[in-house]
Amino acid sequence: MKPAPFAYVRPGTLDEVLTALGSGSAKVLAGGQSLVPVLAMRLGRPDTLVDINAVEELSSLTLTGDMLRVGATVRQRALEHSREVAAVPLLGLALPFVGHRELRSRGTVCGSLAHADPAAELPSVACCLGAVLEVAGPCGRRRVPAAEFFVGAMTTGVGPDEVLVAAEFPVAAEGEGFGFAEIARRHGDFALAGVAARVRRDAAGAVAEAVLTGFGISDRPVTRDVTELVRSAGGVADALREGTTDLAVDLVDTAGDAHGSPGYRRRLLAVLAARELARAARRAGAAPAPGAGP
């Protein structure tokens, strides 16, 4: 199938992008790796595509203090191969799972967040880390916590006349460790189920915070504070299994599909969660926290 006819504009400034989005049924075009297939299958028929790739201010990747700011046109592969990605290890763990490298060389980080596929990796990273998403619209700019940004399958808090300008990911703190894993039918496919895990140890080496985000299991990423669970299991995978099995019953909220029933996804989530929380706990303990002594 071919897309329905559409107009194409390529503004040079953010103000011009917002003006173009305000007229008719326009859609932002970033990397085009999800939007173009949607158009080709006629699942969407916007009358105008607003290509944001010529807007200089959207192309920057900046490490400022405790945040890594990823502009709207930064490619997934550019981030994957950047020096800056080392500051946010969970991004480094997740990016190789996003489609294939050819897709990542065009697809943008913000495009993946704005597309909000429930089985996509980057939204789960944003939720697990508590990223902040900056949205610009006709009434100015607003900053939206990732937990409030994803409101359903392929649905976010970005209005039709707004643009996601940048995503800000917190830089890893001392004593933090991370885990990420997914099960897909083939590498590069969307996940049947996946997890992002973050564990922080205090200066004495005790688990101070543990967070788990599951994806591919509901209409959006689902995040839980699992500090007590990780603490009581001593961060050991086998000891975590009972708790993650109960957690999976609570988290998996899908009717299932031809690739996996809800029960199968619950089992995947329970196994992945136990393994990656244990891995994150080990990594959190790998580097001595400041003041922890020898």
Ligand X SMILES: Cc1cc2nc3c(=O)[nH]c(=O)nc-3n(C[C@H](O)[C@H](O)[C@H](O)COP(=O)(O)OP(=O)(O)OC[C@H]3O[C@@H](n4cnc5c(N)ncnc54)[C@H](O)[C@@H]3O)c2cc1C
34 touching ligand X, by CB under 6 A: yes
20 touching ligand X, by CB under 6 A: no
Nearer Cβ to ligand X, position 195 or 274? 195
136 touching ligand X, by CB under 6 A: no
210 touching ligand X, by CB under 6 A: no
11 touching ligand X, by CB under 6 A: no
Dist. CA 112–CA 203, nearest whole Å = 36
DSSP letter (8 states) at residue 134:
E
Dist. CA 292–CA 284, nearest whole Å = 13
30 touching ligand X, by CB under 6 A: yes
215 touching ligand X, by CB under 6 A: no
CB of residue 290 to ligand X, shortest distance in Å: 35
3 state SS of 184: coil
Name which of residues 91 to 120 contact ligand X (CB under 6 A): 98-99, 103, 107-108, 110-112, 114-115, 117, 120
The encoded tokens of residue 66 equal 């405790």
132 touching ligand X, by CB under 6 A: no
Nearer Cβ to ligand X, position 157 or 288? 157
The encoded tokens of residue 94 equal 């997740």
User: How many residues touch ligand X (CB under 6 A)?
Assistant: 31
Dist. CA 224–CA 104, nearest whole Å = 29
Asked if 280 contacts 179 with a C-beta cutoff of 8 angstroms, the reply is: yes
121 touching ligand X, by CB under 6 A: yes
292 touching ligand X, by CB under 6 A: no
231 touching ligand X, by CB under 6 A: no
Q: Which of 11, 31, 175, 216: binder of ligand X (CB under 6 A)?
A: 31
To which H or E segment does residue 208 belong?
Answer: strand 207-215
**If DSSP states are collapsed to H, E and C, what string results for 41-96?**
CCCCCCCEEEECCCCHHHCCEEEECCEEEEECCCEHHHHHCCCHHHHCHHHHHHHH
**Binding interface with ligand X (CB under 6 A):** 27-35, 37, 72, 98-99, 103, 107-108, 110-112, 114-115, 117, 120-122, 158, 163-164, 188-190
